[in-house]
Amino acid sequence: MRPADSEKTGMFPRIFTQPRLAALSRQGRIAGRVAATLIMVVAASVAAGSAGAAAARHPADTTTVTWHGPELPPLHSVYLIRMQCPSNFPYLLNQHFNPGSGFRLNPGIQFTDYRSGFDAVALSSIRIPFTRDGVSGHMKVGISGDRDFILNSATNWAWFTSTRFTLIMHCTSDASKGAFERPHDSR
């Protein structure tokens, strides 16, 4: 086979001359610098965006308490642990965080990082006596941790896949934003 034929069929490697190698090396260094600069710009913008989003999610009068639950095998349940808001943010925030999920949750409780088939119930709460606008009642301050699957559990109803989950309690220092429970009507 002649060299002219090999260039057409690709059987022999293309030979680069010294000037061509130097030009490719220069181009590679420039491309590397551009890529590194782009990576730093993207990383900085992501960090700034997540910091801005975190500031938007956590006003000065709120904080979160997080528990990363155990891995739940298929068709298994676990009791939720006792969790209470910290003393400087003592009240559960009166906001629902999983609307449309079918979860039965007190306000201020959120579940994330779970797979399809996951279900949660967080209705048992730690409450303290409280008076708001002249009405005596209770302010919710945490999850009681009662060993009760009806009021306090997480279940993986999936048949073939395990799941993990994260429980987040949103707490506030502002009593007007807290989850206040009025006394039940005795009638």
Residues 6+ apart with CB under 8 A from 61: 89, 172, 173, 174, 177
Q: According to the model, what pLDDT value does residue 183 have?
A: 77
Residues 6+ apart with CB under 8 A from 160: 74
CA dihedral 113, 79, 97, 123 (to 10 degrees): 170
Question: Which residues are paired to 131 by β-bridges?
Answer: 136
Q: According to the model, what pLDDT value does residue 145 have?
A: 87
CB hemisphere CA count around 58 (13 angstroms): 13
Q: Smallest Cα–Cα separation from 67: which of 80, 53, 86?
A: 80
What is the tens place of the pLDDT at every residue in 111-166? 999 999 999 999 888 888 888 888 888 999 999 988 888 889 999 999 999 999 99
Q: Do residues 105 and 92 make contact, with C-beta atoms less than 8 angstroms apart?
A: no
Q: How far apart are CA 43 and CA 24, in angstroms?
A: 28
Q: What is the DSSP letter of 176?
A: G
Q: How far apart are CA 140 and CA 108, in angstroms?
A: 9
* pLDDT-flagged residues of the chain (< 50): 5-9, 12, 16, 34-56, 185-187
On average, the pLDDT of the chain sits at 77
Supply 88's token pair: 């400087």
